[in-house]
Amino acid sequence: MNEPATSLPDITRHAAAEVAVRPATLDDVGAIHRLLKDYATRGKLLPRPESDIYQSLREFVVVALGDHVIGCGALQIFTRQLGEVRSLAVNSTYAGMGIGTRLVNAIEADARRLGLSRLMALTYEVRFFQKLGFDVVEMKALPEKVWGACINCPKFRNCDEIAVLKHLSPAE
């Protein structure tokens, strides 16, 4: 699973086939939790207990380099139209190598397959999402998220994340 950076494999020495985006498994929960905990410690995500990851495991995809989980993300569905990219995290050793893009692309493909017409995220990395076709929107444009999840968030009254939204065409 996800080990300290010193023992992680060098991505440049692996064939693209060895870097796989795949659905998360029970064996990945510990690595996902460590990735999310690291991001929460740095103030980039809200903390998420391991029990929550088990409960929502089917929403997660991971990027694995051999047996090592080096990135994760999840698709949470709010309504027939709206889904959210959430819990997006990449091991810092692999930052800037396209892992986050691969995760968002996989989540978007799943959202299209399911028939969602809008995909949103709350983020501090606005430029990253804009490069992937998302536009900045006001939170009030996402009442399903605000009243479905944000209202229970400790940051509800002082949220400093930026909302981004992408309109999806049906899967091809």
Q: What is the tens place of the pLDDT at every residue in 140-153?
A: 777 555 545 544 55
Average pLDDT, the chain: 84
**Domains of the chain by range and CATH?**
5-167 (3.40.630.30)
Copy the structure tokens of residue 155. Answer: 């940051």
Contact 146, 140 (CB under 8 A): yes
26-81 residue pLDDT tens: 999 999 999 999 999 998 888 889 999 999 999 999 999 988 999 999 999 988 99
CA distance 163 to 141: 9
Question: Two tokens at 46?
Answer: 């809200």
